[in-house]
A and B are shown apart, each in its own frame.
Chain A
Amino acid sequence: MHTLVLGIGNLLLQDEGIGVHIINELQRRFQFPPGVELLDGGTAGMELVEAMLDREQVVVVDAIRSDEAPGTLIQVEGDAVPAFLQQHLTPHQLGIADVLATLTIAGRTPKQLVLLGVVPHSMELSVTLSDTLQQQFAELITQVAAKLAEFGIVPTPKVEIRPSVGPLTGVPSDER
C-alpha cells in the first residue's frame, strides 16, 4: 500500500473526532483504487508507526488547535508538518509528533506528507460534531479528494442502494 489516508482524533470529544468521522464517510461513499489504505487511527500514538512506515504518500486528517476561527480549514505539507505540530496541538498529536520523530531517525518518513485539518469549535464529551464542523464537513471531504487527485488517485463513488429498489423476494423495502 503506497498511500495512507489517516484520520486521527478522539471520537468521544466531539470535534476532536473529525479525522475519524472523515475516514468513516470516505469509506462509506467511495471505492478507492488498490494501494490506497484508509485508516481510523483513533487516539493512537506510537501504535501508528506501523501504519506510517515507508509510505509514498500520507494524508493526515485531524482537528487542529489554532487561533483561527473555529471551522477554519488548515493545510500543511512536507517539512512544515513537524514544525507545525510543535505549535498546534491536541493531546494525541504529542503521539503523532513522536511517531514522526521515530520515522525521521530511521529515515523512513513518507515521501509526501500532508496534514489537513480544521479548527474545532467544541471539544466537550459528545460523539456528534458541532454545527460549525458539520457545515465544513463536505468541504473537508472535497479537500481530501483534491489532495488525492494530485497524487493521481481518483476514488469511485459507491453506487447507493436506494431503499425504494426492493429486492426480488418481494419483501417491502420499508420492512428491511
Chain B
Amino acid sequence: MATRITVDPVTRIEGHLRIDCEVDNGKIVNAWSSGQMWRGIEQIVMGRDPREAWLFAQRICGVCTTVHAMASVRAVENALDLEIPLNAQYIRNMIVGAHCVHDNIVHFYHLSALDWVDIVSALKADPQKASQIANSVSSWHLNSPQVLSQVQKRLLALVESGQLGIFANGYWGHSAMKLPPEINLIAAAHYLQALEYQRKANQIVAILGSKTPHIQNLAVGGVANPINFDSQSTLTLERLYHIKKLIGELGDFVRNAYLVDVAIVGAFYGDWAQYGAGVTDYLSVPEMPMDTRGTKFAMPGGVIKNGDPGTFQPISGFHDQYFQEGVAESNKHAWYRSKGPLHPWDGETEPQYTDFEDDGKYSWVKAPTFHGQRMQVGPLGNVLAMVAAGYEPALRYLNQMTDRINAIGGSPFPISALHSTIGRHAARAVRCGVIYENLESQWQALMDNIATGDTDTFNRPVFPKGEIRGVGIHEAPRGTLSHWVVIEDRKIKNYQAVVPSTWNAGPRNENDELGPYEASLLDNPVADPERPLEVIRTVHSFDPCIACAIHLADTERREIVKVKAL
C-alpha cells in the first residue's frame, strides 16, 4: 500500500524546507521539494547605490553571509568592467577558501554526521580497539585510547542527562544505522574535535574580513585591507603569519580526520552509492581568480552532461557568455506570477500563493535551468569538472578517496559511484582538500606579490550614466551562486540572486521535470515511514541551506513527520 510522508520542517539545515514523498513497497516513487519561506530580499536593494548592495546582500542568509557579499561586489564590478588589484583577489580568495573549509567541516560533522553515526551505540565501544582501528587508517594525533575514553564518558553523561532527545533530532537505534560501536565512537570524537578546528577557519575569515559573521572588508573595486608592514592597524606580517599557522592546523584536520572519516562512512555505507543520483547534469563555475580581470583561475569549473566527464564544457571566467546567456528561472510551480522562464536580468518576484498543489504550485523556490536543462550544483559537479579539466589536485584527492574507500570497505568505489547520496559527501571532502591546498597557495601568492612592492588593494569604481548590466559568479560551498544586477544612472534597477539551493531544491520546472532534490529521492528505500532517515540522508547530502533560497514563515522547531495512507 502506498503512503505519503511529509517531513516539515527538515531539521539540521538552515531555513525551512518541506519534503513530501510517496512510498510504495518500501521505495520512494514520487517526491516534492517545497521551500516554505518567501524571499523577496532583492527588492530591498532596488534604487540603492550599487557600491553598498553587498552589505545588504550578505544579510540574505545565515550560513553563507560571506558568499553573497562576494557575488555582489563581483556583479557590480562585472557591470563596470572594473579590474581589481591582485592583492585584493588573493585576500578575497583566502576568505573564500577559509569560509568553504569552515562550511564543509560544519556540514559534515555537525549537520549531517548524525544521519550515519549513532552516538548511543558509541557507548558500547571498546576505546582501546577503537583507537587501534583509527590509527590503522590515519596518523591523526587525537585518536588515543585516553582521548576516546574521555569522549565516551562525555557521551554517557549526555545520554544520562536526557538532553539528547530534546536537542539533537537524531535517529538513534534506527535499523539503517550500520556503523560498529568503535567507528561510532571515533566519529563522535571527531565531531567534538571539529568544533575546535572550525574555529580556526572562522578566525581566518575574521582576521581578513574584520568581523564574522558578516565580513566588513569588501568594496566594489577591491578590499578595504590596507597593507603596510609597519602599521599595526593594517594587514601586518604578524597577522599574515598567524593566518599561515591557522591554515596549517586546518590542513592537518582536513587531511587526517575529515577526508578519512568520510571514506570510512563511505566504505560502511557502500549501498548508498546506489541511491540519490537524481539529476546528473552538473554546473559549476571557476573559482579563485588569479588575475585582475577574472580570466585566469586556480580552480576550473564548467558543465558536465549525463554524468559523463567526457562532455565537459568549461566556463571560462567572469565574462563567460555561455554562462551569462544560459540561466533562466521558471515560476510555473513556484508561488510567483508566471510568465514562462525569465533570464535573471529580467527576473520578477511577484508572489502568487496557492495551497500546496501536487500538480500546480507548491514552493517559494523558483526552478532554474541552464540552456533549458535542470542542473545539479555543488562540490560533486565541481569535482567532476576539475577532474575533466585535468586539474591535478582534484584528481589526486579523488584517487586517494576512492582508494581509501576501496581499502576499508573491500569493494571498489568507481568514479561513477560519485553520482549518489554518499558520493556527494565524498566529493565535498575531496573539494575541501583541494580548497585547503589553494588556501596555502593563495597565502603564498599574496606574500610574493607584496614582496614585489605592490601594496594596492583598491581601484576606485566610476559609474557611467545610462544602463549597465553585470553578473557576479562564485563557486560557493553549496555550489554555483550568481548575483545579477542592472544599474541605471548609478542606481540599482533590478537585482536577482540565483543561489545554489535554488538550483538543487527548486520544484518542477516549465516542462514539469523534477528538481535535483526531488529526482535524487526516487527509488530510495524507506524502512520505517514514521522515521524516514533515508529521506533525510539524501536531502542532507546536498548541504541544504534554504534560508537564502527563500525567506520567512511560521514554523515549529521539531522535525515533524506525517504519514498518510493513500
Q: A91-B547, A101-B169, A105-B191 are in contact. Are A41 and B556 (CB under 8 A)?
A: no
A40 at the interface (CB under 8 A from B): yes
A126 and B44 alpha carbons, distance in the complex (Å): 7
The chain A residue sitting closest to B548, CB to CB, is A43
A148 at the interface (CB under 8 A from B): no
> B197 to nearest A CB, angstroms?
11
Q: Are A47 and B213 in contact (CB under 8 A)?
A: yes
Q: Are B16 and A44 in contact (CB under 8 A)?
A: no
Residue of A41, A92, A101, A105 with most chain B CB atoms under a 10 A cut-off: A105
List the count of A-B residue pairs having beta carbons below 8 Å apart. Answer: 137
Q: Are B44 and A49 in contact (CB under 8 A)?
A: no
Chain B interfacial residues counted at CB < 8 A: 53
Q: Are B59 and A45 in contact (CB under 8 A)?
A: no
Q: Interface segment, B18-26, B160-168, B269-277?
A: B160-168
A100 and B13 alpha carbons, distance in the complex (Å): 14
Chain A residues near B213: list those with CB within 8 A: 41-44, 47-48
Interface string of B11-34 (1 = CB under 8 A from A): 111111000000000000000000
Label chain A's interface by main secondary structure.
Answer: mixed
Q: A47-B65, A47-B212 are in contact. Are A42 and B59 (CB under 8 A)?
A: yes
Q: Interface segment, B35-43, B78-86, B429-437?
A: B35-43
The chain A residue sitting closest to B554, CB to CB, is A65
**Complex interface residues of chain B between 299 and 357 (CB less than 8 A to chain A):** none
Chain B residues near A107: list those with CB within 8 A: 154, 157-158
**Complex interface residues of chain A between 95 and 120 (CB less than 8 A to chain B):** 95, 97-98, 100-102, 104-108
Query: Could you say which of B63, B111, B552 contacts A91, with CB atoms under 8 Å apart?
Result: B552
Chain B residues near A86: list those with CB within 8 A: 166, 556-558
Residue of B56, B551, B557 with most chain A CB atoms under a 10 A cut-off: B557
Q: Are B15 and A91 in contact (CB under 8 A)?
A: yes
> B438 to nearest A CB, angstroms?
21
Q: Are B555 and A105 in contact (CB under 8 A)?
A: no
Q: Are B110 and A102 in contact (CB under 8 A)?
A: yes
Query: Could you say which of B65, B191, B202, B558 contacts A42, with CB atoms under 8 Å apart?
Result: B65
Q: Are A94 and B110 in contact (CB under 8 A)?
A: no
Q: A47-B202, A98-B111, A104-B167 are in contact. Are A89 and B12 (CB under 8 A)?
A: no
A40 and B210 alpha carbons, distance in the complex (Å): 13
How big is the A interface, by class? 35 or more
A45 and B11 alpha carbons, distance in the complex (Å): 13
Q: Are B11 and A105 in contact (CB under 8 A)?
A: no
The chain B residue sitting closest to A17, CB to CB, is B59
A85 at the interface (CB under 8 A from B): yes
B61 at the interface (CB under 8 A from A): yes
Q: Are B557 and A91 in contact (CB under 8 A)?
A: no
Q: Are B167 and A91 in contact (CB under 8 A)?
A: no
B195 at the interface (CB under 8 A from A): yes
> A103 to nearest B CB, angstroms?
8
> A49 to nearest B CB, angstroms?
7
Q: Are A98 and B15 in contact (CB under 8 A)?
A: no
Q: Are B168 and A43 in contact (CB under 8 A)?
A: no
Interface string of A42-69 (1 = CB under 8 A from B): 1111111110010000000000010000
A-B residue pairs in contact (CB < 8 Å), sample of 19: A10-B59, A10-B551, A40-B214, A42-B213, A46-B14, A46-B110, A46-B111, A47-B62, A49-B110, A49-B198, A49-B199, A82-B166, A91-B555, A93-B557, A94-B14, A94-B15, A95-B14, A105-B192, A107-B154
Chain A residues proximal to chain B, CB less than 8 Å: 10-13, 40-50, 53, 65, 82-83, 85-87, 89, 91-95, 97-98, 100-102, 104-108, 123, 125-127
Q: 7 more A-B contacts (CB under 8 A) besides A44-B65, A105-B158?
A: A10-B59, A40-B211, A43-B60, A86-B556, A91-B37, A102-B195, A105-B168
Closest 9 CB pairs of A and B: A44-B213, A86-B557, A45-B62, A101-B167, A43-B62, A47-B213, A50-B202, A42-B214, A46-B106
